[in-house]
Structure 1
Amino acid sequence: MTTSLRSRPAGVAATAAALALAALAALAAPASASGPAQSTALPPASAARGGLAEPSPPTLPRPTGRYATGRDTLFLTDHERTDPWVPAAGPRQLLVSLTYPARPRTGGDPAPYMAEEEARLMLAQRGLEDVVPPELVSGTGTHARTAARPAPGRFPLVLLSPGFGTPRATLTGLAEELASRGYVVATADHPYESTGTRLPDGRVLTCAACDKVDAQPDEAARKKVLAAVSAGRAADFSFLLDRLTGPDPAWRHARTIDPHRVGMAGHSIGGNAASSTMAADRRVDAGVNLDGTFFDPVAARGLGGRPFLMLGTDPGHGPGSDTSWDDAWDRLDGFKRWLTVRDSGHFTFTDTPEIGEQLGIEDPDAPLSAARSTAITRSYVTAFFDRGLRGRPARLLNGPTPANPEVLFHRP
């Protein structure tokens, strides 16, 4: 069965980390429960480019929609819950990036990708701090601008949840694409569930939940903790919905959100969290699981006819490989699609392929190009939310297309 915790078990993660920035995703992926983190035998990034020049920071692909994009950051405290991983820390807190349709030529500089210390911790977790300079990762170019004025109108809201141990920054490209297509996107960092989360006061929280998983004596016990991660994230997003759409919203541009059109997508365990959130909160109208095992048994229940997309690796998430997908498929009771992508890897659906390729680092286990990884993720996720939240036709979801030969449709 394909696991989708922080990355993969250590032995598998060592190969997935061959994309030194899949370690970026793996970098977001802490050492696995089955063993210590392993270094990847790669040359320095400059050598990967032939040693001709020091590499410059990568740049995420430009969004394709008609809107310019802006970005705000919220730091929220849920006084009704204690942090589940570090109770001594007090109430549960969330860091949230809000990426939104903006008026053109407004705002300041492009929003930062991530803090350098977050990048360093992400790299160090995979033994890559001497392979990829953290400032290259943290300096990745984005397109959303800080303090941009929102575009007029009200827009559907999409919630994004990253993989276990992975910073929210690794879903920046998808967030910017959706915002350019007319969605407000709220991407959450779940404290103590990432290699590093820098708070506004400068403190950096590390992955206590990862330590909890690694301390379990067997796979059954690990799955139980991971189910708790997913259920906890469902509570995080219900709280976030309250703060974004309730009577006293926390975001200054909350008026741009249409609270009656809400979707959620997540990578790895964040994909499980999408189904867990839908099961717990009827306000979420559509969900997407990007290559994540379903650990939370609540997610195995039907979702009341609401649409759900499963988009994963091939063959890792084809029928009969990760059996949690077979079980979930049988229980999904609304519009549903099960798609897998040839030549993809666990982090194909994040920013990792673009960052790795621009730094001259290839992943032999995921030969799909960065351009195709980005195009497939953007087009299928957007088509799904256009259908589920806007009622638009989505021919892309009807079946295989010549333009996307890597995408396989499964109807078991």
Structure 2
Amino acid sequence: MSEIRKTLRGRTLVPLLALALALPLADGPTSLAAPLPGTSGGEATPAVATVGAELPRPTGPFAVGRDTLHLVDKSRRDPWVPSAGARELMVSAYYPALPGSGRPTSYMTGKEAQLLLKSGHMDGKVSAAAYRATRTFARADARPLQGRFPLVLLSPGFTTPRATLTHLAEDLASRGYVVATVDHAYEAAGAAFPGGRTLTCAACETLTEPGVLKKVTEGRAKDLSYVIDRLTGADATWRYARLVDTGRIGAGGHSVGGAAALAAMTADPRVRAGLNMDGTFHTTTAGLRGRPFMMLGTRSEHSAGGRDESWDRTWRGLDGWKRWLTVKGSGHFTFTDAPVVLDQLGAALPDAPLSGERSQQLTRAYAGAFFDQQLRGIPQPLLDGPTAGHPEVAFQPR
């Protein structure tokens, strides 16, 4: 157990406050092909709920649409629950849309909120009903803009659902990207799948086994490649696949999701740029071949006594454009929706004095600048070095 505690103190995988290592295992799927209620590439209208928090309004010029996709990779069995059959993924696909079309979308289900708060020891401190009722800006079945846009895939931290990256996904889509956030089956405290199933974290039960985090990372890399297959090219199944410019694909994520972005890049040449937000790396840079990568993390994690050696190793192995940025006052979940939502619900992350408002501003600014420069060819002076307007952000010497 001491090794687990040592791992969880780092940027690796803790949920909102600490990882609950023994989450209940959900029953296996009853139907791999069952659609979500009210969906046909779209999603159900959210039910009326307790008034909750509100995500920040997207900063780009476009309205945002969102589809919910259930993907099944029949070429692979689920690595955590082999009896469940083929590997399942849930994807929220965000895209630039025409204003005034579509209908409101929900943040997450009540069960997802309940399990997320329980895993972070926040149940009883924050209302699950209020958390799930967080207001989003994307709209289901919104009519897409005409054109072709870069694609960015986002993978969440271990035990957290894809909804925790919503404010970044909505912002990127409003700026002219297609964004796919991914739930990897049995790797979140709770993630809703078709047939009324909420899959829980079976993978959490294996954390005492050696090499499990490398297994998570490599499995997610395969998941991300499969999502690209379904959103692009001849095998695309998404109704708006025509929106994606297949020559401009990036990947990013939080915690192990950020580690998976690097693993996906090294295994899949279609991924041209990668972003890791505060995740320990579990694979090498072999095969990256000069493609750009940015590391965005906590200052405290890179100070004496708290340094993550995987970042030093990866930094040395990056042979193309690269940046290593640290944010003063940040914590592991600074780069997610958590501080934004919790601040509004009267709670706070104990390890991050940076406010929720400032957290989202910095995350959006630097993640957006990175993808704008690397996937759209728009020079970003923000990435050249420290600025007076963002004094919290420090640059590792190149």
Q: TM-score, normalised by structure 1?
A: 0.85
* Deviation, structure 1 residue 129: 2.0
1:232-262 CA distance string (max 9 Å, x none):
0011111111111121311111101111100
- Counterpart in the other structure of 2:227: 240
* Count of residues paired in the alignment: 368
Which residue of the partner structure matches residue 348 of structure 1?
334
Q: 1:276 aligns with which of 259, 263, 270?
A: 263
The residue that corresponds to 2:107 in the other structure is 113
Q: What is the aligned partner in structure 2 of residue 30 from structure 1?
A: 19
Shift of 1:132: 1.4
Tell me the residue number matched to 2:56.
Answer: 61
Residue deviations 1:166-222 (CA, integer Å, cap 9, x gap): 100000000000000000000000000000111121011110111111x43xxxx1x
Give the aligned partner of residue 405 of structure 1.
391
Moved over 6 A (4+): 5-8
1:258 is paired with a residue of what secondary structure? strand
Q: 1:66-113 deviations in whole A, cap 9, x for unaligned?
A: 0000100000110100001100000001100001100111111x2110
Whether the aligned pair in 2 keeps the contact of 1:166 and 1:194 (CA below 8 Å) is: yes
* Native 8 Å contact 1:266 1:289 kept in 2: yes
Matched, 1:137 2:131: yes
Identity rate, percent: 55
SS in 1 for 2:90: strand
Q: How does 1:194-273 map to 2 (within 5 A)?
A: 194-213=188-207, 215-216=208-209, 221=210, 224-273=211-260
In structure 1, list runs of 5 or more residues that go unmatched.
17-21, 34-54
Partner deviation per Cα, 1:307-343 (whole Å, 9 max, x = no partner): 0000000120359811100000000011000000000
Pair 1:7–1:289, CA change in 2 (3 A): farther
> 1:81 is paired with a residue of what secondary structure?
strand
- 1:130-176 deviation per Cα after TM superposition (whole angstroms, max 9, x unaligned): 22121111111000001000011110000000001110000000000
Distance in 2 of aligned mates of 1:114 and 1:8: 28
State the partner residue of 1:388: 374
Aligned partner of 2:81 in structure 1 is 86
Determine the C-alpha separation between the residues in 2 that align with 1:267 and 1:56. 27
- Distance between the aligned counterparts of 2:348 and 2:198, measured in 1? 30
- Residue 122 of structure 1 pairs with residue 143 of structure 2: no
Equivalent in the alignment of 1:308: 293
- Matches of 1:191 and 1:119 in 2, distance apart? 16
CA distance change for structure 1 residues 157 and 165 in 2, over 3 Å: closer, same or farther? same
Q: Residue 392 of structure 1 aligns to which amino acid in structure 2?
A: I
* d(CA) in 1 for partners of 2:182, 2:294: 20
The residue that corresponds to 2:27 in the other structure is: none
One-letter amino acid of the structure 2 residue matched with residue 396 of structure 1: L
2:140 corresponds to which residue?
Answer: 146
SS in 1 for 2:64: strand
**What letter matches 1:103 in structure 2?**
L
Deviation at 1:7, TM superposition (A): 12
Pick closer, same or farther for the CA change 1:87–1:7 going to 2, 3 Å: farther
Contact 1:302 1:333 in 2 (8 A): no
Paired AA for residue 178 in structure 2: V
1:6/1:253 CA distance change after superposition, 3 Å? farther
In structure 2, C-alpha distance between the alignment counterparts of 1:70 and 1:294, rounded to whole Å: 32
Cα displacement (A) at 1:6: 12
2:302 alignment partner, SS class: coil
Aligned position for 1:372: 358
Alignment-mate amino acid for residue 290 of structure 2: G
Q: Distance in 2 between matches of 1:170 and 1:386?
A: 22
Specify whether residues 192 and 326 from structure 1 end up closer, same or farther in structure 2 by C-alpha distance, changes over 3 A only: same
Asked whether 1:181 is paired with 2:171, we answer no
Q: Do 1:99 and 1:179's aligned partners in 2 also have CA atoms closer than 8 Å? A: yes
Q: Is the 8 A contact 2:278 2:295 kept in 1?
A: yes
- Secondary structure of residue in 1 paired with 2:301: coil
Extract unaligned runs of 5+ from structure 2.
Answer: 23-49
Change (3 A) 1:411 1:390: same
- Deviation string, structure 1 residues 259-292 (Cα, Å, up to 9, x no partner): 1100011000000000000000000000000000
- The one-letter code matched in structure 1 to 2:256 is I
Match of residue 52 from structure 1: none
The SS at the match of 2:16 is helix
CA contact (8 A) 1:6 1:165 kept: no
What secondary structure is seen at the aligned counterpart in 1 of 2:349? coil
Provide the C-alpha distance between the structure 1 equivalents of 2:161 and 2:206, rounded to a whole number of angstroms: 18
Q: Deviations over 1:15-56 (max 9, x none)?
A: x9xxxxx99x427x63259xxxxxxxxxxxxxxxxxxxxx94
One-letter amino acid of the counterpart of residue 358, structure 2: R
Asked whether the 8 Å contact 2:253–2:261 carries over to 1, the reply is yes
Give the RMSD, CA atoms, in angstroms: 2.3
- Given that residues 6 and 164 in structure 1 are in contact (C-alpha distance below 8 angstroms), is that contact kept between their aligned partners in structure 2? no
Indicate the SS of the match to 2:249: strand
Q: Is residue 70 from structure 1 mapped to residue 65 from structure 2 by the alignment?
A: yes
